[in-house]
Homo-oligomer: A and B are copies of this chain.
Amino acid sequence: MRSPTELGELFRSTGRKNTAQRQCIFELLHGSTAHPTAEAIFAEARAKMPSISLRTVYQTLNDLASLGEIQQLDLGTGSFRFDPNIDSHHHLVCIECGSAQDIYAAFPEVQVPPAVAGDFELTSTEVVFRGRCASCRRP
């Protein structure tokens, strides 16, 4: 995703408002690699802006996602994860603590078998590796 300043301009140019709450969320997301949930972002935002509401966090995340600035991922951990990395990539997810990390690898062999592919209009291919992360293995 773009810088907080650029996102402010993007929001204004699309008829949205560039509010302090939104800037706060932009800054938290920028450069984050933790794949936070809405609740996690809410907790961080609240530390800087105690009055911010969870509803505003969801609203802003949804706006960013529909503008294509972040990805909303369902990694099977019970709630959506938000990812400022919009490149095509895959994920490694800990089944114990839910932590997720990027896997940058193209898997060109992963294709829908020809027998099925004809009738189906493919839009995305997701690979999720699951297991236990280093810190969950050493207790």
Contact = CB atoms under 8 A, between A and B. Distances in A.
Interface of A: 74, 76, 92, 95, 101, 103-105, 107, 109-110, 112-113, 116, 119-134, 137
Given A74-B76, A101-B116, A103-B116, A123 B110 contact: no
Given A107-B109, A110-B110, A124 B119 contact: no
Number of this chain's copies in the complex: 2
A103 B113 CA distance: 8
17 contacts: A74-B76, A92-B116, A103-B113, A109-B109, A109-B110, A110-B127, A119-B133, A120-B132, A120-B133, A121-B137, A122-B129, A122-B131, A123-B130, A123-B131, A124-B129, A124-B131, A125-B127
